[in-house]
Structure 1
């Protein structure tokens, strides 16, 4: 996908809004603008029905009931509602431990720190292997009947590893623990129509699935809803779990995006994306530098994810030199302006230097074969220039 002069290979950061999603949303910005909570007139009823339809679409995507879908501002809010909401209602109870995988999104890890510092819970990280899969033996050893919840993401946002949620669920639930899953990256990566059978709470984000930004959803099993303390209080909307006027156009857009990713052609689109991703990786591996893939391979990986390690180079140097021609991202995050190596890449055993030599390229359904060829050519040219400039260390 080309945006002006830039090849966009950062779809795991944000996907473009599908044109069919935009078309579905448009009327709710203009003539169908009624407040969905206005229950005394037709415009309110129409907006309310549109929101209900969107919730039903999202519920169908993951195999649950529409009244178990709670709209939020995004997966970060959904993750916070899940972990903080559960813990606030469980203060003083027997279950005082929470387990999270070592490669969770920063918002889950930050929520975990809040549980420790503000509510006195013990939050422990479950290690992963060198491909990013949760170590089952470590989880078995750590689980006990004092664990309140376990949070494991379905698809990693940096290295694309797809966890076996069914197997993990069986283990977690065997001791009565609540299983939370950050599934923000999952709709593009996998068929989710049975995931609701395996999790108790799940988080989604509109802009990771070809929907709009500013909207997300949380699935909260019906029997758990009275065990969640809201983060936002007000008019008691959405079963009292998340008050506030719902943004009808955004809800409609996310619902339409869910319909498209649950459609008959979704698996074919994923297969095509996977094939292009594999071709991209193969072409990069054939370049005359020590280049390697971080994480798992094949179908156990997000079909658009290619987290590539350029041995001896700096990812920031490469990305800077690629501008404005290729948009991708490093696996590192900035906290208070201080760069730090990716916790995900460190968790799978990479050294600091190797982590800082890694770039996440994430292809999308709109990536074309010619985009891949051009991107590889741009990368090859940059590596040559950096090598000639002496900006490479011994790998």
Structure 2
């Protein structure tokens, strides 16, 4: 049965601003596709891409639709990665514009996902389409790896999409991920790695009793203070060449005790560690357990557990590919970007197992905020930078 013809698009997909607006108008709050992947499918299919949209599932999580599109059959295979899902808008009344309206006003595109990361993805799509139009016989292949599960649990998204593609024989050579990496200007930084993330849950057990009879009770708060002080007393490390020192932050401390005359039975704390490439989740957990064990001795009764994590520290070593990205940014902006590993986690932590990956995207000042927006100038700059990168990348392949 023939696939019914799609109506023509009412905008030019080679215009990154128009494409950003169109994607923002798709309410793709995780895990809902919201029409965003269908829109990309329409755009890429019309330009010769073979597009597939696998759906992945896991117990206890929502099904998530993803997109993989490729043009070309030969190596090298350059991958553009990103996500179309967005975080919830929160209180809609707090927005000065429709969060899914994609309004263009005073040089800014407004709406949820404008900078994280529908704007970045749109600029890269536009750049690839322009590059292929200008270079139809360019050597190698280009693919898009797009998930709808980056802002969610990241279970049915990129990690499974990569495994799915690899199982079909796809072999990636390099990847550019369009997350909003720049703090203030498009010349600030590219990400060549990310810190890992490990969350621990600590419980100190005491004995409930009357505050007037402390000899009959055992206050767990004293033990908790002792253990947390031990975790914070000595830095985990001094950092490495490309990473800041690992840091531990206590995020929750609770005894669940509404009474002022009762010694509580338990004290609970949650902490998160953003760690560098000195550690793995396993070695870091062992170090935390060692510190707790030494601090507790026989005086504090406690329990420690760690949440499963797929956020490990990684580094894309500076080399020809990193330099090529930095060169493209410098030529278009006039300033060479810093090589950074700061910030939270991203899907680059999955991609790094398949090929070298660099992150570069719009200014991220308003990501996840009310009135999220992206500058038109940033979108146009990212389109030019991506186009320049592709030109240099495939020129090298042609020479070799």
Normalising TM by the smaller chain, what interval? under 0.3
Q: Which has the higher strand share?
A: 2
TM-score (norm 2): 0.27
Q: Which has the higher helix share?
A: 1
